[in-house]
Amino acid sequence: MRTFIVFGCGRFGSAVARRLYELDNEVVACDINPEKVDNIAPFVTDAIVCDVEDENATTELGLSNYDVAVIGIAENLMAAVMAVLAAKEAGIKKIIAKAPSTRAAKILLKVGADRIVYPEMDIGRRLADNLSNKNLIDSYEFSNGYKIFDMEVPENIIGSTISDIDYKKHYGLLVLMVNRDHDTHVNPSADFRFKKGDIITLLGTDEMMNKLTSNE
CATH number, domain of 30, equals 3.40.50.720
Q: What is the CATH number of the domain that holds 171?
A: 3.30.70.1450
Question: Is the same domain home to 17 and 113?
Answer: yes
Give me the DSSP letters along 131-167: HH-TTEEEEEEEETTEEEEEEEPPGGGTT-BHHHH-H
Residues 171-210: tens digit of each pLDDT:
999 999 999 988 899 999 999 999 999 999 999 988 888 8
Tally of structural domains, the chain: 2
pTM for the full predicted model: 0.65
Indicate if 8 and 113 belong to the same structural domain: yes
Tell me which of 117, 147, 171 is where a domain ends. Answer: 117
Query: Residue 81 class from Cβ within 10 Å (0-12 exposed, 13-18 middle, 19+ buried)?
Result: buried
Q: How far apart are the C-alpha atoms of 24 and 46, rounded to whole Å? A: 13
pLDDT of residue 66: 96
Query: Is 208 found in the same domain as 133?
Result: yes
Could you say which of 91, 117, 143 is where a domain stops? 117
- 119 pLDDT higher than 90: no
Distances (CA, A) of 52 to 77, 81, 91, 202: 11, 9, 17, 42
Provide φ and ψ at 38, rounded to 5°. -60, -40
Instruction: Please give the residue range of the domain that contains residue 23.
Output: 3-117
CA dihedral for 75, 78, 84, 87, sign (positive or negative): negative
| Domain co-membership, 138 together with 44 | no
